[in-house]
Amino acid sequence: MDRDEILSWVKAERLSLADFFESLHDEEWEAASLCAGWTIHDVAAHLTLSTRTTLAGSITGIIRARGNWDRMEADKARDRAAGFGPAELIAQLRETAGSSRRAPGAAPLDPLVDALVHGQDVARPLGRRRDMPVEQTVAALTHVHGSIFYGARKRFRGTQLVATDADWSAGEGPDEVRGPVGELLLLATGRPEGLAGLTGPGVRRLEAVLR
């Protein structure tokens, strides 16, 4: 895919997220997100890090987290949330919305996945709606489905995914799962909240895997 187009998508999502965060009340910043143990504030802090993380910082972080990637990401997000208030994080998100800098090892589409999925992580617990643009979400889902990083290959083994709002399908096997690309993306990134919008014989098995 064209990297300039991907970057334009990422910029638009980051600016949209900044607008979303700006609309929140003070108490909503401390509400739980869909990321276990993360507040909305923590997620906002995490979203400012993809253009600011260095290789040295990643190495130090993974050592401190004793090799646990998820723990490292959580620690970094909470540390940044403790150091910056909502207004500062919103300004930082806007400031680097169009930056092409990525965390070490990240592919061009990873920041788009991050923005789309974390947008749902913060909106859904608050009962707010964030639409996911179909073309961008299809690109993100295709990337996640083929990546070794997100665990989707193992999660979807023997499962065919079929989008109901786009011309997209992937995988093969007896367990078909159908639904909107946004819900499939949530499922692909390990979020059981995506299950509610899906149908098909594979849903029950995936529910057992994710819950």
Token pair listed for 158: 């023997």
Q: What's the one-letter identity of residue 84?
A: F
Confidence band for 209, pLDDT divided at 50, 70 and 90: confident
Domain 134-210 part of CATH 3.30.1050:
yes
pLDDT at 1 over 70: yes
Write the pLDDT tens digit of every residue in 198-207. 999 999 999 9
Write the pLDDT tens digit of every residue in 70-119. 788 889 999 999 999 999 999 999 999 999 999 888 999 999 999 999 99
| pLDDT of the residue at 61 | 72
pLDDT at 16 over 70: yes
Q: Which long-range contacts (CB under 8 A, 24 or more apart) does 162-166 make?
A: 162/200, 163/138, 165/134, 166/134, 166/137, 166/138
Q: Tell me the pTM.
A: 0.93
Average pLDDT, the chain: 93
Write the pLDDT tens digit of every residue in 46-81. 999 999 876 666 667 777 767 766 788 889 999 999
| pLDDT of the residue at 56 | 65
16: region left, alpha or beta (phi > 0 left; psi from -120 to 50 alpha): alpha
